[in-house]
Amino acid sequence: MAAGAWAALRSVVKPCIAASLIGLTVSDRYFSVAAVRGASMHPTFEGRTGEYALVTPVDHQRKAIKRVIGLPGDWISVPETKEIRKIPEGHCWVEGDNGSVSRDSRTYGPVPLGLVQGRVTHVVWPPRKIGRVDKRVPEGRVMPQRNL
């Protein structure tokens, strides 16, 4: 290959490598985009239409998108069992918005806070649903520790 061809190739490849490294650094540290699959977060996410959410920060392993509704010391009312449970220190309670199909703390109990890798902040795809994800907690189900 002629010297001019190598120079032209290098001038294209070098910026591509730099952009890739910057992109990996940003996605490792600050945010990532995660596909939302399944109906456990319906109606916030439909899960069947190829929706994508902005997650901060990224977890390179399997992600489960759930809503944190209780923190250590809070008391949670579990409607399916009519049980009231206290969330232990170092744990949180997570639930999908669509309880009838969500596999969450109602199934496996409180989750160690160390396993929470980030927070969904926005829907980024499809375009008709682009926007901020509302923070909400099921009304009357969580009794914060400070109120007891």
Q: Where are the domains of the chain?
A: 1-30, 31-147
Separation CA 82–CA 127 (nearest Å) = 40
Angstrom distance (rounded) from CA 94 to CA 103? 10
Of 63, 66, 102, 105, which is the active-site residue?
66
pLDDT tens digits for 86-104? 999 999 999 888 877 888 8
Q: What is the model's pTM? A: 0.58
31-147: CATH number: 2.10.109
Dump pLDDT digits (tens) for 61-77: 567 788 898 999 999 98
Active site (annotated) includes residue 14: no
32 is catalytic: no
CA 18 from chain centre, in angstroms, equals 28
Q: Which of 32, 40, 102, 105 is the catalytic position?
A: 40
Rounded Cα distance, 33 and 26, in Å: 11
* 89 or 148, greater pLDDT: 89
- Enter the tokens of residue 131: 């926007």
Cα angle for residues 31, 36, 38 (degrees, 5° grid): 155
